[in-house]
A and B are shown apart, each in its own frame.
Chain A
Amino acid sequence: MYDQFKIRAEGVSAEVHRFPAQAEALEFLVEFLQSEGLADRAQHSAVFAACPFLSRIDRQPLDALEGLHFEVTRERAAEARFGISQMDWALADTGTLVQDATAIDKRLVSTLPTIHIALVATSAMRPDMPACLTGIDPKGIGYLAMITGPSRTADIERVLTIGVHGPERLIIIFFDELGGTN
C-alpha cells in the first residue's frame, strides 16, 4: 500500500519520505528545516501543532532550533514558512492524508504556511476512503480534513499552478515504528 500511496501522492506533486522509526523521521525533519532556512523571523519560522509524535520523542533536537514554535497562534502561523502536524490516516489509492482537524492549531499550520510537513505512522495506511471512513465516528470529529497534494488551481486558462491559498509544498514523512531508537 505504501508504494501505491507514494506513486499517487507524488503524482499530485507531494514529496514523500519514509523512515523505519520516529527518531530517524525526526532527524530528517530537523535537517530539512535547517536546509530550507529555518530562522526566527517572518517568512522563515515554523509552527508545530501538538500531536502524539511530539509527545513520544526526545524533543531536545527540536528545542535547539531557533524559530520553531510549539504554541501555535494565528499570527505565528500566518507569518511562518513551515507548518508541521501529524496526520491520523493515509489513503493508498489516492495518496490522501486524513486528519481529525477539530483543534484549530492543526488547521492553522496546514493552511497558512508555505510548506506543510505532515508526519504519518505507516501503520495508519488504509487502502481507500470507504475503508477509512467506516472506522470513523464523525460525531466525535468536528472538522475532518483530507489533504491530497499541495494547494492547486487551474482557473486561468486551465494551466495547473501549485500553491494558491494553501501550501505550495507538501512534505509527507512516514515512520514505521512508533518508538524511538534508544
Chain B
Amino acid sequence: MEQQFKQSIDKALHNANLTGALGKFSEAYKINRAKAYEGIDFEELRGKIAALKSYAASHLEQLSDQFQQNAEARGAKVFRTNDPAKVREYILKVAQDNGVKSVVKSKSMATEEIHLNPYLEKAGIEVNETDLGEWIIQLAGQTPSHMVMPAIHMTKEEVSELFSKEINERLSSDIPRLVKVARNELRPKFLKADMGISGGNMAVAETGSIVLVTNEGNARLVTSLPKIHIALVGIEKLVEKFADIAPILKALPRSATAQLLTSYVSIITGQVPNSDGSIKDLHIILMDNHRSEMAADPMFKEAMQCIRCASCLNVCPIFRLVGGHVFGKVYTGGIGTILTAWYDELKSSEDIQGLCIQCGACKDVCPAKIDIPGMIMELRRRLVKDQGVPLLQKSIYSVVNNRRLFHGILRAASIAGKPFATGKFIRHLPLFLADLTDGRSLPAIAAKPFRDVFKTIEQPKNLQETAIFYGGCLIDFAYPEMGEALVKVLNKAGIAVKFPEGQTCCGAPARYNGAYEVAAQNAADNITALLADAADYVVSACPTCTVALNHEFITTFESLGQSERLPQARELAAKTMDFSTLVKRLVDEGRLSLKEGQQLGKITYHDSCHLKRTLHADQQPRQLLQQAGYELTEMFECDTCCGMGGSYSLKLPEISAPILQRKLKNIKDTGAPLVAMDCPGCVMQIRGGMDQDGAAIRVRHTAELIADQLDD
C-alpha cells in the first residue's frame, strides 16, 4: 500500500471530530432507516428497482435516443458525450454565448466528477454552490467526503469560522444562526445569477423529464430563477418509464437520510416560463464517461443500478472510522470505490479497494441490490491479474498450502516467542509484527494440530450416517478443541465423522487478496479430498470456510472460466453445511437432545459476517443456545463486523483495532459474562481483544457450548 494512503488513513483515524460525527450518525442511521422502511417490503421494492435500472443499463443507447427526442420535442437542447472535457467546453460555451457572469449550482456529483467549478472560474465566471454542505466545502476549498452529506466531516465551530470570514462578522457556532447566514448570503446570489446548473436524480426516457430531489429548496431556485438551466446527468440515471419514478422515490430518501420523502421533488419536462415572461433556455447533458463500458461488462453492469443514496457508506464499519476523504476526491465509500475504478481508471482503486473488509453490510441494505463487496473482489482479481501478487504474499500462500510446513512454522514461531506467550495467548510479538498484537492477543499455536488430535478420538461404532469434517486453518492449528466439540456433538446424533487428510486451506486468504489462481488450486485440492469418501454431509465450524465450500469454489472457477471443475464444485456445495444449521436441524428432528431444565445464565451472541449475510444462519445458533438453557441478551450492533476479516487485520491493523474496541464495548455493555459466536476467526479477534482488555468475559464457539450440554 502506498505510504501516502496509509498516512491519509492515519490522519482520518486521529481526527476525533470526524470519527465522532460519523460514529454517531451511523448508529442513528441504522435505527432511523429501519423505521423509515416500516411496513414496506424492502426485498420486493429493491427487486423492482434493480429490474428497472438493469433494463435501462441494457438499453442505454435506445433510452438516450428516446430521452433526447422527447426532451427536444419540449424545447430542451440535449447534448450527449462520452468526454468530460466536452461537457466542460459545452457549458462554458453556453455561458459565454449568453454573457453569463455568475452561476448558481445545486448539488451534483457529476459536476464534481468532471471538476467543473475550477474550469468555469478560470474562465472568469463566478460559481456559487448553494447546497449548504457543498457551499461549506466550497468556502473551505475542500472536496465532498460523502455523496449525500458533503460536509459531514466538519464541526459547527469550523463552519462558523468559515462563515465569519466570509461575511466579516464574528459568528457563534449556533447552528440555526449559521443556517440563517447561509440563507441570507446565498439569496442575492440566486437572484442575480444568469445560469443555474443542476444534476439529475433520474432522467425519464418516455417523457424527457429530469427528476431533482432536495431538502433545502435550492434546486427549485436554481431551476426557477436564472433564465438558463443546464442539467448534467450521467447516463446511469436514465429510466424508461414515468412510472419508474415512484419506486425509486420510495427508496432513495428512506435509504439516504431515513426520510419518507425529501422536502422537495421537482419533475421538469421541457422548457418552462421565466419570471420576465421569456422561456427557459434548458440544456440537458447526458454524460457517458465510461458508463457504457461499465454497462457492457457483465461483472460490473450491476453498478449501473446505483441510485446514489450512499447507504453503503452509512452502514460501512470502515467508512465510519475513516470518512470519505481517504477514498479520493469524488465518489466515496463502497460504491465509490467501484465508480472510481471505472470513471477514473482501475489503477485508481488500487489502494482504496483494500479498505473493504468484505463484511457484506452494504449489500444487505442496497436499495438497488448491488453486490458491492462482490464487485470489489472482482476489482482485486483484475488488479492482481494486471500487476501480479506481491512476492511476500506469494511465499505466504505456498507455505499455507503445505499443511505440515505451515503448522511447523507457526509452532516454531510460537515456541520462539515463548517469552511473549502466556498460557493460551501470544500477547506481544517483536519488531515488525508488534502491530498484530496491538489491542488483541493472538492465540498460542496448539501443540498438536487437530489433524493429529483427530486420530486419537474414539468414535462409537456403527453410526447411521457419515459427515466429512472440514476443519479450516484456525481450528486445525489454534483451536482443535472446537473440532473435538463438533465430533462429540455429531457422534451423539448418530453421525460418524471423517477428517480427510488431503484437505487444505479453503482459499479465502488468497481469494480476498485477488489471487484467484491460488484460490482455484485450493478449491480443486479440497474438492478432491472432500468428495473422495461417500458421506451424507460436509460440515464446517467456520462460516468463512463454509462459504468457500458452498459458494466461492464455484464463483472462483466461474471467474477464471474453469467450467470443467464446476460439476464437482456444485456437488460439494450441495452437501456442505455450517455447524449450527446442521445441529439445529438434528435437534428439531429429535436426533439430538440437550439437557433439560438447565439455567446457564446470561449470554450474548455475535453474528459473524459470513454466517449471517451469506449463509443466513443468524437464528439457528441463538435458538440452540436458548434451548440449551442460556438466557440471550442481544448486544448493540450484534451483526456488525468484529474487524477480523482474515488477513485484513494484518494489513490494516489500525482500522481493525478500533472496530474491535467498539465490538468489545457492545459485548461488555450487555452485562453477560459469556459471548458466543460461530466463527473461529471472530473468536480469535474477540477473545484476543478481551484478553488485552482484561474483562472477565468468556468467548466461546457455539459448538463448544453445545457440546457441554448434551443429554446423556
Contacts and interface: CB of A to CB of B under 8 A. Distances in A.
Interface in A114-154: 128-130, 133-134, 138-139, 141-154
Given A104-B275, A155-B132, A161-B179, A166 B216 contact: yes
Given A139-B74, A158-B21, A158-B149, A145 B220 contact: yes
A169 interface: no
Contacts of B25: 158
A119 to B, nearest CB: 19
Interface string A42-80: 000000000000000000000000000000011000100
Interface in A82-126: 93-96, 102-104, 107-108, 110-112
B155 A157 contact: yes
Contacts of A107: 220, 224
Contacts of A93: 260
Contact of B149 (A73, A110, A112, A154): A154
Contacts of A161: 175-176, 179
Interface stretch (B244-252, B467-475, B574-582, B686-694): B244-252
B450 to A, nearest CB: 49
B24 interface: yes
A94 B39 CA distance: 13
B133 interface: yes
B186 interface: yes
Interface in B16-63: 21, 24-25, 28
Given A151-B215, A161-B176, A165-B183, A156 B273 contact: no
Interface string B550-580: 0000000000000000000000000000000
Contacts of B710: none
Interface in B184-234: 186-187, 190-191, 204, 207, 209, 215-218, 220-221, 223-225
Interface in B625-676: none
A74 B151 CA distance: 32
A30 interface: no
Contacts of B218: 164-165
A8 interface: yes
| Most chain A CB neighbours (cut-off 10 Å) among B74, B130, B149 | B149
Contact of B267 (A110, A111, A138): A138
A94 B260 contact: yes
A155 B131 contact: yes
Contacts of A147: 263-264
A156 B275 contact: no
A142 to B, nearest CB: 4
B266 interface: yes
A151 B225 contact: no
B159 interface: yes
A145 B264 contact: yes
Given A102-B272, A164-B216, A129 B264 contact: no
Interface residues of B, number: 66
Contacts of B155: 157
A104 B155 CA distance: 38
Interface in B139-170: 149-152, 154-156, 159
Nearest to A134: B243
| Most chain B CB neighbours (cut-off 10 Å) among A74, A112, A138, A157 | A157
Contacts of B151: 155-156
Contacts of B265: 145-146
Contacts of B220: 107, 110-111, 145, 165-166
A163 interface: yes
A139 B269 contact: yes
B216 A143 contact: no
Nearest to A11: B260
Contacts of A151: 215-217, 263-264
A146 B271 CA distance: 18
B246 A133 contact: yes
B100 interface: no
Given A133-B242, A133-B245, A156 B178 contact: yes
Interface string A1-45: 000000010001000000000000000000000000000000000
A155 B264 contact: no
Contacts of A138: 204, 207, 209, 242, 267, 269
B260 A8 contact: yes
B270 interface: yes
Contacts of B154: 156
Nearest to B217: A166
Contact of A139 (B182, B207, B217): B207
Contacts of A94: 260-261
A153 B215 contact: yes
Interface string B61-93: 000000000000010000000000000000000
Contact of A108 (B21, B207, B261, B275): B275
A104 B268 CA distance: 13
13 contacts: A74-B276, A104-B224, A112-B221, A138-B209, A143-B223, A145-B220, A155-B150, A156-B132, A156-B159, A158-B24, A158-B152, A165-B220, A167-B217
Interface of B: 21, 24-25, 28, 74, 130-133, 136, 149-152, 154-156, 159, 175-176, 178-180, 182-183, 186-187, 190-191, 204, 207, 209, 215-218, 220-221, 223-225, 242-243, 245-246, 249-250, 257, 259-276
Given A78-B191, A104-B274, A156-B156, 5 more contacts: A104-B272, A133-B242, A141-B269, A142-B74, A158-B21
Nearest 5 CB-CB pairings of A with B: A166-B217, A155-B133, A146-B265, A74-B275, A144-B267
Interface of A: 8, 12, 73-74, 78, 93-96, 102-104, 107-108, 110-112, 128-130, 133-134, 138-139, 141-159, 161, 163-167
